[in-house]
Chain A
Amino acid sequence: NAGVTQTPKFQVLKTGQSMTLQCAQDMNHEYMSWYRQDPGMGLRLIHYSVGAGITDQGEVPNGYNVSRSTTEDFPLRLLSAAPSQTSVYFCASSYSGGIRETQYFGPGTRLLVL
């Protein structure tokens, strides 16, 4: 199993550009989520999905869109990038999001918005 994979590893955008961060998992996990990591703030939840066709907002959803058309993929879209979105983005998955389950993280995408 490849686990959780993310592409690209690094991206530079100009303010106002759009892009999609890709996330895929091959563990047949129903639950997937996106976090952003900023210095001194730990990780904060952006959006999550409990299964194909179902998504919901997390703690910091503004400026981001998601969709879940398949169990394997959970892309994160930035519609109009802003410097405040400069961050490291992590995708995570678990079997069902249950309270005793371990969540598995991807390697991250480092995004710089100029």
Chain B
Amino acid sequence: GDSVTQMEGPVTLSEEAFLTINCTYTATGYPSLFWYVQYPGEGLQLLLKATKADDKGSNKGFEATYRKETTSFHLEKGSVQVSDSAVYFCALLGSSNTGKLIFGQGTTLQVKP
């Protein structure tokens, strides 16, 4: 079945460092891919998405490119801030299951000043 694998955390960075959080997926057909962010004590917010191969999603300085050849959707940001500290979830929405989001286990990011 469909699945998502994220790099394990926590990831600890200094402010202004470069961020990469790896995400790979297994799915039949052509899924859509998402990154959600969960700030402490809050629900999930959509960060960015890509709905077809080679699409690049971007928001708030974060980017991710839908790579079908490597089945990946890695999240990147050039310069992180303390306010980016949160849990990041990679997820896919496959063509075989109506509306069912498949989530990775989440990666905790801690940014220190």
Contact = CB atoms under 8 A, between A and B. Distances in A.
B89 A31 contact: no
Given A99-B31, A99-B51, A100-B51, A48 B100 contact: yes
Given A40-B105, A99-B51, A45 B100 contact: yes
Q: Which 4 A-B pairs have the closest CB atoms?
A: A97-B99, A42-B103, A105-B44, A107-B43
Contact of B105 (A42, A59, A108): A42
Given A42-B4, A103-B93, 12 more contacts: A31-B98, A33-B99, A44-B103, A48-B100, A90-B43, A92-B101, A97-B98, A97-B99, A100-B93, A104-B46, A105-B44, A105-B45
A96 to B, nearest CB: 8
Interface residues of B, number: 25
B26 interface: no
A43 B99 contact: no
Nearest to B1: A59
Interface residues of A, number: 28
A108 B100 contact: no
A68 to B, nearest CB: 13
A105 B104 contact: no
Contacts of B100: 33, 45, 48, 58-59
Interface of A: 31, 33, 35, 40-45, 48, 50, 58-59, 90, 92, 94, 97-108
A43 B101 contact: yes
Contacts of B99: 31, 33, 48, 50, 94, 97-98, 103
Given A31-B99, A41-B105, A58-B100, A99 B43 contact: no
A86 B100 CA distance: 22
A48 B98 CA distance: 9
Nearest to B105: A42
Contacts of A90: 43-44
A3 to B, nearest CB: 10
Contacts of A44: 103
